[in-house]
Chain A
């Protein structure tokens, strides 16, 4: 216990920053090389005794073959579509309900216990239910995504609305803005940081829920393909598809972070992060 991490802010000086970035890339790459080498090692040692393992080079070859097939893209598209529809619905619902709830202390308190309860219900518990109601369908995926994300979005919006500067609101009122104008021009923009945080969390929850539901109850999509590959004993394909789901996760994460940074550049200083 000798070394203490130094503050990153006090890190490299501007002149050496690009060199430092190159260094970071080198080390990051090294990390991936070591990880793949470890994977290779594991399969070399155990592959003979466990045919369900697959070496990295085989998985890459499988991935190369998969990306030329239509099914792969169709199923990935289905997962993404569920993600987009679910998240979109959830966002619309969350903002509207959140603004309503956030505008009144009494309503907020009246609904808070119920919201807190619903928010902590694990959405996975509802999967068998949706299976009974709609079978393995896009609808079931969308429902589960909305259930898994909407409470967080409502609560985040509510926090945002309740954190609106009273003075700004009063100013808008005295300039004769009506209720709708106040909501659109004052309340929504200033609660945007909270909403963005909520959306970033919701986006990763949504993809997790979609893949889970597809894998566990057979909703159409990438997760279902993973499950199918497993039950057909096509383990190399299975690993390739799991890697794909990771890439999807990375892309969506990077996307939402980039969006957040772009739209909230003006707001960076007072970004509120709750949970």
Chain B
């Protein structure tokens, strides 16, 4: 009915039009908080090509990457550990459910007490909070393993690492990735929150500093960077997810 290329065109044109409208509206807005788009972009460029790239943007990205990767590794491993014993799961799940329900930023003060103000605190809060969705999804995945497939694995004497890497991990990967997607936005949230609450560098720190000093263009530069970061991470994640799960029914074109 609707040609795919026509719809692509609609997407492009409409998005450009929306951007143009925002450009004009913001430019003609008299609110003190609105900075004309050209100024915004100019500041964005000058800020993030200056020292701030090294003192704020890259340290933030490093914290994000370390925390996120650690969370994935730890929570998938823990998931397998808990997956081995029903009793252990029964004992752990309610506690985990409670800890998970605490709004993550409310945990920050505890991490400040325990780890002080440093990268250890900022990374460990990301690890701690991002681990739950992945862990719970890993457990769900392990709980849904296809009985026939597991029987076949046994009959073919597939065991050890082969079993782990060629049967179990691929089988639960759609679940794990779903958890990882939830965790990705949590990671960004906690990164910025921890930098706003206590830090001497980072995108969140820069954002807060600029606001405190009423440097509106700089503040917008940070907002735009965070927006782009969120978007790029999401799109990148979708691309990776689709590649990894090409074999899986949920991603196949019907």
Q: Does A211 contact B (CB under 8 A)?
A: yes
Q: Does B48 contact A (CB under 8 A)?
A: no
Task: Say whether B105 contacts A120, CB under 8 Å.
Answer: no
- Chain A stretch 34-51: residues in CB contact (< 8 A) with chain B: 34-35, 50
Which residue of the partner chain, among B13, B91, B112, B207, contacts A128 with CB atoms under 8 Å? B207
Task: Say whether B10 contacts A106, CB under 8 Å.
Answer: yes
CB neighbours (8 Å) of A127 from chain B are 196
Q: Which residue on chain B has the smallest CB distance to residue A243?
A: B102
Q: What's the least CB distance linking B9 to chain A, in Å?
A: 9
Mark B166-205 against chain A: 1 for CB-CB distance below 8 A, else 0.
0010000000001001000100110011001100000010
Mark A1-14 against chain B: 1 for CB-CB distance below 8 A, else 0.
11111111010000
Q: Does B49 contact A (CB under 8 A)?
A: no
Q: What's the least CB distance linking A76 to chain B, in Å?
A: 13
CB neighbours (8 Å) of A238 from chain B are 109
Task: Say whether A28 contacts B108, CB under 8 Å.
Answer: no
Mark B52-83 against chain A: 1 for CB-CB distance below 8 A, else 0.
00000000000000000000000000001001
Task: Say whether A121 contacts B110, CB under 8 Å.
Answer: no
CA distance in complex: A119, B185 (Å): 10
CB neighbours (8 Å) of A3 from chain B are 83-85
CA distance in complex: A30, B104 (Å): 25
Q: Does A92 contact B (CB under 8 A)?
A: no
Q: Which residue on chain B has the smallest CB distance to residue A254?
A: B101
Given contacts A4-B150, A5-B142, A31-B94, contact A124 B103 (CB under 8 A): no
Q: Does B39 contact A (CB under 8 A)?
A: no
CA distance in complex: A120, B186 (Å): 11
Classify chain A: how many residues form its interface, as a range: 35 or more
Task: Say whether A216 contacts B113, CB under 8 Å.
Answer: no
Task: Say whether B7 contacts A120, CB under 8 Å.
Answer: no
Task: Say whether A129 contacts B145, CB under 8 Å.
Answer: no
Mark B134-166 against chain A: 1 for CB-CB distance below 8 A, else 0.
000001001111010010000000011001100
CB neighbours (8 Å) of A211 from chain B are 103, 105-106
Which residue of the partner chain, among B90, B97, B160, B208, contacts A250 with CB atoms under 8 Å? B97
CB neighbours (8 Å) of A120 from chain B are 185, 227, 230-231, 233-235
- Chain B stretch 18-42: residues in CB contact (< 8 A) with chain A: 18, 31, 33
Which residue of the partner chain, among B92, B150, B196, contacts A216 with CB atoms under 8 Å? B196
Partner-binding segment picked from A107-115, A155-163, A165-173, A261-269: A107-115
Q: Does A253 contact B (CB under 8 A)?
A: yes
CB neighbours (8 Å) of B159 from chain A are 1
Task: Say whether A129 contacts B223, CB under 8 Å.
Answer: yes
CA distance in complex: A52, B83 (Å): 36
Q: Which residue on chain B has the smallest CB distance to residue A125?
A: B226
CA distance in complex: A224, B77 (Å): 36
Task: Say whether A242 contacts B106, CB under 8 Å.
Answer: yes
- Chain A stretch 251-265: residues in CB contact (< 8 A) with chain B: 253
Which residue of the partner chain, among B94, B114, B181, B216, contacts A28 with CB atoms under 8 Å? B94
Q: Does B247 contact A (CB under 8 A)?
A: no
CB neighbours (8 Å) of A119 from chain B are 234
Q: Does B95 contact A (CB under 8 A)?
A: yes
Classify chain B: how many residues form its interface, as a range: 35 or more
Task: Say whether A124 contacts B98, CB under 8 Å.
Answer: no
Among A119, A131, A249, max chain B CB count under 10 A is at A249
Task: Say whether A122 contacts B226, CB under 8 Å.
Answer: yes
Q: What's the least CB distance linking A59 to chain B, in Å?
A: 11
CA distance in complex: A211, B192 (Å): 15
Task: Say whether B105 contacts A5, CB under 8 Å.
Answer: no
Q: What's the least CB distance linking B32 to chain A, in Å?
A: 8
Mark A123-137 against chain B: 1 for CB-CB distance below 8 A, else 0.
011111101110000
Q: What's the least CB distance linking B154 to chain A, in Å?
A: 9
Q: Does B222 contact A (CB under 8 A)?
A: yes
Task: Say whether B189 contacts A124, CB under 8 Å.
Answer: yes
CA distance in complex: A23, B89 (Å): 12
CB neighbours (8 Å) of B92 from chain A are 31
Among A5, A52, A204, max chain B CB count under 10 A is at A5
Q: Does B211 contact A (CB under 8 A)?
A: yes
CA distance in complex: A35, B91 (Å): 10
CA distance in complex: A105, B14 (Å): 13
Interface residue ranges, B against A (CB under 8 Å): 1-2, 7, 10-11, 13-15, 18, 31, 33, 80, 83-87, 90-95, 97-99, 101-110, 112-114, 139, 142-145, 147, 150, 159-160, 163-164, 168, 178, 181, 185, 188-189, 192-193, 196-197, 204, 207-208, 210-211, 214, 216, 219, 222-223, 226-227, 229-231, 233-235
Q: A7-B143, A116-B234, A275-B181 are in contact. List 8 more A-B contacts (CB 8 A).
A: A7-B144, A27-B91, A121-B227, A122-B230, A212-B104, A215-B106, A227-B109, A242-B110
